Structure 1
Amino acid sequence: MADYDNSRYTYAQVLAGTGYYMKDDKLRYSAGVKTMQTKLNTAGYDSGTPDGKFGGGTDTAVKSFQRAKSLTVDGKAGKATLTELDKTASGGGNASAEAKNLKKKFGSIISSFASKNSIGEDVLGGFILTESSGSGFVDGALKIRFENHIFLKAVPSASTTFKVEDKVHYYKKNGKWYKTHTGKQTSEYEAFNLAKNISENYAYYSISMGLPQIMGFNHKVTGYDTPKAMFTGFSKSEDKQMEGFCTFIVNYSSGSLLKACQSRDFTKMGQIYNGDGSTYGPKLKANAADYAKA
């Protein structure tokens, strides 16, 4: 039984690093918990009617928020959780720097696609905000990530050059094995170029590309005839990458994602795109609210 008196700390104290809030089976009132509940609701994480009592619904909302923000998922809302919540909450305040930058750079593209496809501009902007990697190029070259397992599934004979062990990807060069994903584009391109020498089409097929990091095997729904054509198009500009991402959202899953976007069903959007509507849906909703303020 959780016997924790949340009324001991104000919201400001917890935000500053003193104490935390957590589930209290006695459901004692706390003004700070009520503030947190309001912020959770406006950020898209339903904790029920804000009543200042940290029960099961609030516990679920806190854990969902922590999971979506890659925080420790323990139901304890301390400084890290409240700090992230204050940045995310859609009720009042200013838009995030990421949302402002996205609208400044690609607002016209997002607006055009949203209008053309009867999607709320905030919904489409929030989706892109959730999925964009922040940069489509590194040192002038298209940002990529080569996925060994995708290539090996398409070309099993390439096992002499590529392997995956304990989820770690390796490629073989000059008789020595190197890690593919090192955080640097050098290793990604070395693996990619080795793959091109084995099968050019499947090499392009097996990389994620640009700002949205869309896989080459999704070239059709992104608006390109081949994975290589997608690579060439994305290499032209980040605008082309964003156009491709918008097209991808519209066409993905035979149009079912588009319908979910049109109806503003964030849970369904999360289910279709990420397979987890309960976690991913609130994140999409919060980012849509963030984009709306930008």
Structure 2
Amino acid sequence: MDLILKKGDHGQAVQDLQAQLRAQGAALAIDGWFGEATETAIAQAQRRAGLVVDGIAGRKTLAALRGVRDPHRLTEADLQAAADRLGVALASIKAIHAVESRGSGFQADGRPVILLERHVAYQRAGVAHQDAAQLATRYPAICNPARGGYAGGAAEWVRFASLAAVAGDLVAIESCSWGLFQIMGYHWQRLGYASAATFRAAMESGEAAQLEAFARFIEAEPALLKALQAKRWADVAKLYNGPAYKENLYDSKLAAAYARAERLAA
């Protein structure tokens, strides 16, 4: 699992991070406590590197501190352009970016982050005129009327390959959420992609393309766009993640992420 350091963390990893920041000019105590001063120093380092400024030290930020820059990664300018396009506050885009992802649209092995939804696989198999009930009986971990069965991380690609083998690439692509913003594959047609395979290729090409899919998704949902423009987080949560959003306090997380983004922009 990727190392992700954020406000409230403590220990040797934070101390090492603070030493790196100090070496690059941050006036920062090396005390092993990730407080506001460390968060501010991270935000400043992200701003210098052109990264998304969120005050969280994830894979991209830690790599940038080592002098490594990946052109496939999202930049602050990319997010600003999307915010301008949608007519929403930059902090609102950052809030969804922070809550939907762990800071990266790709795994360490270079493949996009995906999550296979087995209940969606059941639905999409039916749409594809396959025997969904039979698939669910034989392969309940990857095709099932009930949610669940998640493996997480790279193991989701194992599940993807298994589903593709028994139900085809189309059903597998459509049954997963993809990238930084976790856009479901079955939206490919309404978002203007020529095919599910084209959508997958876009998600594999870089985080800017993943942001493009997010922008198209918001534009295709006028009620969601209005809620995001008005910062009505409960409505955003319900429209983006479904009626079960309260179980994970999704609206509260969005509000907190928005407040953090606003504070770090000051």
Q: TM-score, normalised by structure 1?
A: 0.55
Does the aligned pair in 1 maintain the 2:118–2:147 contact within 8 Å? Answer: no
Are positions 1:266 and 2:233 aligned together? yes
Tell me which residue corresponds to 1:144.
114
Runs of 5+ consecutive residues of structure 1 not aligned to the other structure: 1-14, 16-82, 170-180
| SS in structure 2 of the partner of residue 145 of structure 1 | strand
Query: Residue 223 of structure 2: which of 224, 236, 256 is its match?
Result: 256
Match for residue 159 of structure 1?
A: 136
Q: Which amino acid aligns with 2:163?
A: A
Q: Give 1:184 deviation, angstroms.
A: 4.3
1:259, distance to aligned residue in structure 2 (A): 0.7
1:225/1:255 CA distance change after superposition, 3 Å: farther
Paired residue type of 1:244: A
Equivalent residues of 1:267, 1:281 under 8 A apart: yes
| 1:112 alignment counterpart | 81
Partner in structure 1 of residue 196 of structure 2? 227
| Residue in 2 that maps onto 1:285 | 255
Determine the C-alpha separation between the residues in 1 that align with 2:227 and 2:196: 27
Question: Within 2, Cα distance between the matches of 1:281 and 1:244?
Answer: 22
Alpha-carbon deviations, 1:142-176, whole Å to 9, x = none?
Answer: 2222222221233213235410488653xxxxxxx
CA distance in 2, matches of 1:212, 1:141: 15
Quote the Cα distance in structure 1 between the aligned partners of 2:94 and 2:106.
Answer: 20
Look up the match of 1:189.
157
Give the number of the structure whose alpha-carbon radius of gyration is greater: 1
SS in 1 for 2:140: strand
Residue 282 of structure 1: how far off its partner (Å) = 3.3
Mapped to 1, the partners of 2:214 and 2:121 lie a distance apart of 22
State the distance in 2 between where 1:200 and 1:143 align.
Answer: 17
Conserved 8 A contact 1:144-1:209:
yes
Closer, same or farther: CA 208–102 of 1 in aligned 2, 3 Å: same
CA gap of 1:222–1:158, structure 2 versus 1, over 3 A, is same
1:130 is displaced (CA, Å) by: 1.8
Distance 1:255 1:238 in 2: 24
Alpha-carbon deviation of 1:261? 1.5
Note the residue ranges of structure 2 that are not aligned, 5 or more in a row. 1-7, 9-32, 55-73, 126-131
Q: How does 1:32-47 map to 2 (within 5 A)?
A: none
Q: CA deviation at 1:111?
A: 0.9
Tell me the matched-pair count. 194
RMSD: 3.4
Which amino acid is 2:88 matched to?
A: I
**TM-score, length of structure 2 as denominator length:** 0.60
Q: 1:103 aligns with which of 20, 28, 53?
A: 53
Shift of 1:94: 5.1
Q: Structure 1 residue 97: deviation in Å?
A: 5.0
Residues 260, 268 of structure 1: 8 Å contact kept? yes
Secondary structure, counterpart of 1:211 in structure 2: coil
Paired residues of 2:115 and 2:152 also in contact (CA < 8 A): no
